[in-house]
Amino acid sequence: MKPLLVLTIILHGIMLHGQTVFPTPTQATVNDGQLVLQRKVSVCTADTAAPGLDILRTKVLGSIPIKWTTRASKAEICWQTDSTMPSEGYRIQINRKQIVVSARDKGGFTYAAQTLRQLAESRDKTLIFGCADIQDAPRMQWRGFMLDSGRQFQQVATIKKYIDMASMLKMNYFHWHLTEGLGWRIEIKRYPRLAQVGGQVGHGAEQQGFYTQQEIREIVEYAARRNVTVVPEIDMPGHAEAAISAYPELGCFGQPIDIPQTGFTHNIFCSGKDEVINFLKNVLDEVCTLFPSPYIHLGGDEAPKGNWEKCAYCQGRIASYGLKDCHDLQLWFSAQMAGHLKKKGRKAIFWGDVVYSDGYPLPDNAVIQWWNYRGHKDLALRNAFKQHCPVICSPNYYTYLNFPVTPWRGYAEDRTFGLAEAYLHNPADKISYDGDNSAMGISCALWTDYGVTEAMIDERLFPRILALAELMWHQGQRTDFATFYRNIQQREEWFIRQGYNFGPALKQEADL
Written as one string, the DSSP assignment of 118-175 is HH-EEETTEEEEEEEEEEE--S-SEEEEEEE-SSS---HHHHHHHHHHHHHTT--EEE
* pTM: predicted TM-score of the whole model, two decimal places: 0.96
Predicted pLDDT of residue 124? 81
Residue pair 246/198 in contact by the 8 Å Cβ criterion: yes
How far is the CA of 203 from the CAs of 27, 47, 200, 496, in angstroms? 51, 50, 8, 32
How far is the CA of 340 from the CAs of 150, 291, 388, in angstroms? 24, 16, 20
Q: What is the mean pLDDT of the chain?
A: 95
Residue pair 33/62 in contact by the 8 Å Cβ criterion: no
Predicted pLDDT of residue 510? 58
User: Domain map of the chain by residue range?
Assistant: 6-136, 142-472+479-510
For 145, residues 6+ apart whose C-beta sits below 8 A from its C-beta are 162, 165, 166, 169, 171, 173, 174, 175, 443, 444, 445, 446, 465
Residue type, 179: T
Q: How far apart are CA 437 and CA 456, in angstroms?
A: 38
Q: How far apart are CA 169 and CA 23, in angstroms?
A: 6
The distance between the two most distant Cα atoms of the chain, rounded to a whole number of Å, is 89
Residue type, 259: I
The domain 6-136: what is its CATH number? 3.30.379.10
Closest to 127 (Cα-Cα) out of 52, 68, 57, 73: 57
The domain 142-472+479-510: what is its CATH number? 3.20.20.80
Predicted pLDDT of residue 511? 52
> Sorting pLDDT into bands at 50, 70 and 90, what band is 144?
very high
Q: How far apart are CA 195 and CA 192, in angstroms?
A: 6
| 3-class DSSP assignment, residue 112 | helix
pLDDT in tens, 15-26: 677 779 999 999
> Sorting pLDDT into bands at 50, 70 and 90, what band is 62?
very high
Q: How far apart are CA 409 and CA 207, in angstroms?
A: 18
Closest to 211 (Cα-Cα) out of 147, 286, 156, 174: 156
Terminal CA-CA length for the chain: 53
pLDDT in tens, 159-183: 999 999 999 999 999 999 999 999 9
Residue type, 296: I
